[in-house]
Amino acid sequence: MISGIRGSISRKAGTRLYVDTGAVEYEMIVPLNVLERVERVLLENSEAELFFHVHQQILPEEHRLYGFLDPQQRELFRTIQDIKGFGSTLALSILSHLDTRGLLAICESGDAKHLVHIPRIGKSTAEALIFEVNRKKKRFLKLLELEEGAARAGLSESGELLAEPEDETFELVRQALIQLGYKDTQISKVLIKLDKDRSAGLDPNETSTSDWIRKALQLM
């Protein structure tokens, strides 16, 4: 299972990015807001190396990769995708226009008219989305909390976008925790705490990946 890809953008086609990792080129589908952020980075440096959090969808006829610049957006995509009758196409369309805060605000107000402006969202689909988001409100509020925590830590906008050496260590920590059975939401919260410790200069001797994994497990 592919959970993340790091590489440079070799070409673009609509909302599809082609990521060159050096040995393999991956085709990745992204929301419009991710495409816009990537394009801004490429304007400054066309050879920039980027890291994407990936959702892999395995279908009988093909495998699809959906790319996100932070794990919270990927979790929001998965949460919407899992709603009965929605799926990846509708989830991608919604994420191209709304973040978690915006989606919650619309659903709390019951403003179906606002949602029908999103491509592929009709009145009945909008009403179903409002019902499901309100029914699972605690889960969406938890996602919002994680997003805001990551933004305060500087991860959502830049920490996971440009490839920094320290981020590679954190991605190894993430992969280890996934293999141990922890959920993305749990992992993201712990990584935010670890990054704060790192920024504060705590535990300067804990530099190896195994040390970071051990510390992450203590925070679980």
Structure tokens at 22: 């050096």
Give me 94's structure tokens. Answer: 């919604």
Closest CA to 8 of 43, 55, 42: 42
Q: Which DSSP letter does residue 175 get?
A: H
pLDDT (tens, 9 = 90+) of the chain, 220 residues, equals 888 999 999 998 888 999 999 989 999 999 988 998 899 888 888 888 999 999 999 888 888 999 998 888 899 999 999 888 898 989 999 998 888 999 999 999 998 998 998 888 999 999 999 999 999 998 889 888 877 776 665 544 444 443 333 456 777 777 777 767 777 677 777 877 777 776 655 554 545 677 778 788 888 7
DSSP code for 2 = -
Strands (E), the chain: 4-13, 16-20, 25-29, 49-58, 63-68
Q: What is the pLDDT of residue 176?
A: 76
**Residue with token string 């932070």:** 70
pLDDT of residue 148: 74
Mapped to the 3 state alphabet, what secondary structure does the chain carry?
CCCEEEEEEEEEECCEEEEECCCCEEEEECCHHHHHHHHHHHHHCCCCEEEEEEEEEECCCCEEEEEECCHHHHHHHHHHHCCCCCCHHHHHHHHCCCCHHHHHHHHHHCCHHHHCCCCCCCHHHHHHHHHHHHHCHHHHHHHHHHHHHHHHHCHHHHHCCECCHHHHHHHHHHHHHHHCCCCHHHHHHHHHHHHHHHHCCCCCCCCCHHHHHHHHHHHC
